[in-house]
Structure 1
Amino acid sequence: MSFTSSLTLGHLDTRQHEAAAAAVLRVLEAHDLEVELVPADRDGLVAHMQAGRIDLLATAWLPDLDAGLVDPAQMEVLGGVLYRPFLMWAVPAALVIPGLVSIADLHRPEIAAVIDTKIVLPPWLEPHAQRVMTVYELGRSGYRLEVLDAEVAFDRASALLDAAAAAVLPLSQPHALAHGGRLRPLEDPEAALNTRQEARLLLRRGLRASLDPDLMDELEELTLGNPVVSALEHAMRRDGMTADEAAEAWQRGRLTPRA
């Protein structure tokens, strides 16, 4: 039986998803598949999948964060878990503020007096951060959100982390800034943030039968882990690698996942 020789690989147009997609691409190319990458924002991916233009999506964060990407009539969720993302509010690990353990501690007068009350974040995290602000009533202690373009927000967070600044950083894990253990997540006693997710591959309905079973087995067994995805994105942002170069370095054992 002959199997398909080409497919389209979609991913959300962020560095984390690009990094994970590049690792999946290495697996596909090892099976001699010709692959077209399809990066897009969330709405664009949904439109592509509804039109049947994406064969494989890497990755959807399930069951909550990317639930809108899963239309059972269009895509099936593959069994493997590539990594386990989650949202966090963190501070630089090198920052020492006695008593700052959880998000709730941000209200303490001695902490609010020294920490930056302006919290910088990218647009996609705003609804989640608004929930944290509401649940912990952080506005009454003067905290406010500053939503910036994704790349500007990353550069600002990176500079704050490099300086070990007294600042709160809402981020997702995996993340380039999490590489090397330089972040200290704050506890979330009120569970205002989403629980841990599973990063899964989505396959276009009806395509499974046309793919080599050995490839399907490998895709469903593929595991990256949060430290690997963080290391891939770190290599892209700090070392100037393309996603493909970072994935090749990982495959050859030249990337050290440390977070």
Structure 2
Amino acid sequence: MRGSFMSYLTVGHLYTALHAACASGVARVIEANGEDVAYADLGNEERLQALDEGEIDILVSAWFPQDEDILKHGHEVIGSLYHPELNFSALTSAGKGQGWTAGDFSSLVTTAEARPFVERVLERRADLKELPFEVVATENVLSRLKQDEEAGKCPLVAVWQPHAVFHTDMLDSLPDGDLLDGQVQTARLVLRKGFRDEVDEDLIDELSIMMLSNKVMSALDHAVSVDGMGPEEAAESWQRGRLIPR
């Protein structure tokens, strides 16, 4: 938030490793334009209120179209940071491919964020309802899948990408496993109402063309949630080409 005695921008983000790392990546662009950055960790239900009340200048990030209610409040949406995907996947070691069926798997493992989409598919795929259904915390997905692999189990997995697990070679997406029915999701930046008039247009332009990709975001998530880096350290490592070979 800006004012006569403040010379920084406040970036809000969900309190997860993925979103914190994304916010730090965006902050590096802001800082390169001569602005200092403060961060605000937000719960999912706090994001819109923080924008409405001017507590944050930029929200990093919102996923559209599922967050389209934000548009009703007059805030500006810019950019296209990455495109979240949601597919059924299987452990690479299991070697599953064309023609997979429920009988190939020991359980169905998902997260709370992915569960509504999975349940929609279960309405059409009665065979999948026979699998033990397990909801795992997003931050525990990687360790859980390692346990299953070591135990010789073969779960059917539904986890939003980007995620740290996709920075490894543990999972392969299954053919005909799209849980979004072809719908494209886009992670975008949200500027609070009136923000554009308070900053240099060059900053807005640079943020508008910034791209991270699912591959970069998965690497950032892995750096923070698995390797123990701080979000800012991970963002710097990415910028210097240390997380993903260029």
Taking the TM superposition and a 5 Å limit, the aligned residue runs for 1:55-204 are 55-63=57-65, 65-68=66-69, 70-78=70-78, 80-97=79-96, 100-101=97-98, 105-107=100-102, 112=103, 114-116=104-106, 118-140=107-129, 142-160=130-148, 165-188=153-176, 192-194=179-181, 195-204=183-192
**Number of the residue aligned with 2:9:** 7
Alignment-mate amino acid for residue 48 of structure 2: V
| Structure 1 position 53 matched with structure 2 position 43 | no
Q: CA RMSD in A?
A: 2.6
Aligned length: 242
State the SS of the aligned residue for 1:32: coil
State the SS of the aligned residue for 2:37: strand
State the SS of the aligned residue for 1:54: coil
**By how many angstroms is 1:148 displaced?**
3.5
CA separation in 2, counterparts of 1:205 and 1:161?
A: 48
- Is contact 1:132–1:193 with CA below 8 Å preserved after alignment? no
- Is contact 1:82–1:222 with CA below 8 Å preserved after alignment? yes
State the SS of the aligned residue for 2:30: helix
Q: 1:179-236 CA deviation, whole Å, 9 max, x = no partner? A: 14432112336x6425231111110111101111121111011111111111111111
| Residues 240 and 42 (structure 1), Cα distance of their counterparts in 2 relative to 1, 3 Å cut | same
Unaligned runs of 5+ in 1: none
CA separation in 1, counterparts of 2:149 and 2:63?
A: 26
Query: Given the two structures, how large is their TM-score scaled by the length of structure 2?
Result: 0.87
CA separation in 2, counterparts of 1:130 and 1:144?
A: 13
**Number of the residue aligned with 1:211:** 199
Unaligned runs of 5+ in 2: none
- Is contact 1:92–1:165 with CA below 8 Å preserved after alignment? no
**By how many angstroms is 1:161 displaced?**
5.7
- Is contact 1:236–1:242 with CA below 8 Å preserved after alignment? yes
CA separation in 2, counterparts of 1:41 and 1:164?
A: 37
Q: Which has the higher strand share?
A: 2
Alignment-mate amino acid for residue 73 of structure 1: H
Alignment-mate amino acid for residue 105 of structure 2: I
218-227 or 50-59, larger mean C-alpha shift: 50-59
Q: Identical aligned pairs, as a percentage? A: 36
